[in-house]
Homo-oligomer: A and B are copies of this chain.
Amino acid sequence: MSNNIKDTIFIGKKPLMTYVTSAIIQLATMPLIKIKARGLSIAHAVDVAQIVLQRTNPAFVIGDVKIDSESLESQDGRTRNVSTIEISIKKRAA
């Protein structure tokens, strides 16, 4: 992998502010970060992005927002599709 994994934050079940803090720390040293989530966590990914923007206003903006779906095998062995989102946050152009 040529991509540094550290520029991506995966949203899970932790409190929102955990991810907000990680994102702001990473934005201090990186030009662009990605917030990824799948399934119901997608709504939380959008929340995290919005809170980061608010807290750091007006330093950063939302870049690309990509949505997609992944095939996962569920516990009963069937294949299920789950939606995913990837939100980029980057420095506001001067």
Interface residues of A (CB under 8 A from B): 39-43, 46-47, 49-50, 54, 62, 65-69, 81, 83-85, 87
Contacts and interface: CB of A to CB of B under 8 A. Distances in A.
Contacts of A81: 50, 54
A47 B83 contact: yes
A40 B47 CA distance: 10
A39 B49 contact: no
Contact of A67 (B39, B46, B84): B46
Contacts of A47: 83
Contact of A50 (B40, B41, B54, B68): B68
Contacts of A68: 50
